[in-house]
Amino acid sequence: MEAVTTPARGAALEIDGLSKAFYGTRALDRVSFVVRPGELVGLIGPNGSGKTTLIDCVTGVLRPDDGGVRLDGRSITGLPAHRLAKRGLIRTFQQVRVFTSADVRDNIVAGGFATVLPSRYLFNPAHWAATAARADALIAELGLSRVRGTSAGHVSYGQRKLIEFAAGLLCDPRLMFLDEPVAAVNPTLALTMRQRIRALHEAGVTIVLVEHNLEVVLDLCERLVVLDHGVKIADGPPADVMALPEVQEAYLGR
């Protein structure tokens, strides 16, 4: 399957001592790990372990209480989300988000805002024509052609996940956080999604994948980072990590 993004050098990510507390509960407790360019890392852990909070802190949605984040060696801690998106740090949302007043095609074309300066939103027909062409190609490949003109609020949950993923691709990501991309999606769409993720990986984009579906995680990821109650409890190759007693305990519960 063709990779649709222009081959991008994947970004490197360093997370250093990230902490975040809400109303006294520590959602993240000095979490540190490194993601090398082009790696496909799985971020796993039981519900409430802080995975989405981590993504929020890294992508500028939340301000961490402590610690720092570096993208390709440059500090990005506390930068607003839109600036990070323009640097190629793209994410999808656990509760899938789309622009409800726009149709499917425009939702995907909107990814074009990340790759151009605001001063060039208007009067830039070349950029938007290219974006539209890429969007059309993606729509065809992802099987969304029939609903391209439908309002994004009216398509199925799985289709919305595909839309979100496609829009993210159009942002020319160098590092992509995928927050449960196949959760609650029917098996056919899930397969499509997995193929796209693999293609993205082969194109060289760094990927951090949050997923509960261990089969998907073990299939795709080269490395796993495990969080439990906001603390990193493991970091390494999937087979090794899954064999660790603390990891099994975390999943089987106390």
Partner 1 sequence: MHVFIDEVVNGLTLGSEYALVAAGLALIFGVVQIVNFAHGELYMVGAYLLYLAQTYLNWPYVPAAALAVLAMGLFGLIFYVAVIRTMIGKGWQLQLVATLAASVVLINLAIVTVGSIPKVVVSPLTATILTAYFVRLSAQRLVVLVCALVAFAGLYGFLKYTKAGKAMRAMSQNRDAAVVVGIPIERVTLSAVVTGAMLAGVAAVTIPPLSNVNPTMGASVTLQAFAAVVMGGFGNVTGAIVSAVLLGLAEAIGIIWVPSEYADAIVFGVMIAVLLFRPHGLFGRAARA
Partner 2 sequence: MVRLGASQSFAWTAALVAALVLPFIVTVPYYISTAIFALIYVTLAVSFDLVVGRIGALSLAQPVFYGYGAYAAALLATHARPGPGFWIEAAVAVLGAPLLALAIGIPAFRLSLHSFAMGTLGFALIAQLVANNWLDLTRGPMCISAIAPLRLSYPGGVLQIVTLRQSYYVVLAIAVLAVASVALIARSRLGMAFRAVRDDPLLAAARGLSPNQMRLIAFTVSAGLSALAGVFAAHFETVVCPSYLDLGITVLLLIMVFVGGAGSLRGVVTAAVVFTIGPELLRLVAAWRLVLFGIILLFTVTAFPDGFEQLYAAAGRALSRRRSAGPAEEQAWKP
Smallest distance, Å, CB 181 to partner 2? Answer: 15
Q: Could you say whether residue 121 binds partner 1 (CB under 8 A)?
A: no
- Residue from 34, 61, 116, 214 binding partner 1 (CB under 8 A): 61
Report d(CA 50, CA 216) in Å as an integer: 20
- Residue from 98, 175, 193, 234 binding partner 2 (CB under 8 A): 98
Q: Could you say whether residue 57 binds partner 1 (CB under 8 A)?
A: no
Residue 24: burial class (beta carbons within 10 Å; 0-12, 13-18, 19+): exposed
Q: Could you say whether residue 23 binds partner 1 (CB under 8 A)?
A: yes
For residue 62 the two structure tokens come to 């939340």
Helix-helix angle 187-202:157-170, to 10 degrees: 10
- Secondary structure element (H or E) that encloses residue 224, with its range: strand 223-228
Report d(CA 206, CA 173) in Å as an integer: 8
CB 98 within 8 A of CB 163: yes
Read off φ and ψ for residue 175, nearest 5 degrees. Answer: -145, 125
User: Which of 123, 252 has the CB closer to partner 2?
Assistant: 123
Site for partner 2, residues 151 to 170, rule: CB under 8 A: 151, 167
In the block, tokens 């984040």 appear at 69
Site for partner 2, residues 45 to 64, rule: CB under 8 A: 59-61
Read off φ and ψ for residue 226, nearest 5 degrees. Answer: -110, 130
Q: Could you say whether residue 218 binds partner 1 (CB under 8 A)?
A: no
Site for partner 2, residues 205 to 224, rule: CB under 8 A: none
Q: Could you say whether residue 80 binds partner 2 (CB under 8 A)?
A: yes
Residue 103: contacted member of partner 2, partner 1, none (CB under 5 to 8 Å, by partner type): partner 2
- Residue from 27, 58, 62, 98 binding partner 1 (CB under 8 A): 62
Give residues with Cβ within 8 angstroms of 62, minimum separation 6.
20, 53, 56
Residues that bind partner 1 in the complex, under the rule CB under 8 A: 22-23, 61-62
Residues that bind partner 2 in the complex, under the rule CB under 8 A: 59-61, 80-83, 85-86, 90-91, 93, 97-103, 106, 109-111, 113-115, 118, 121-122, 124, 128, 149, 151, 167, 171
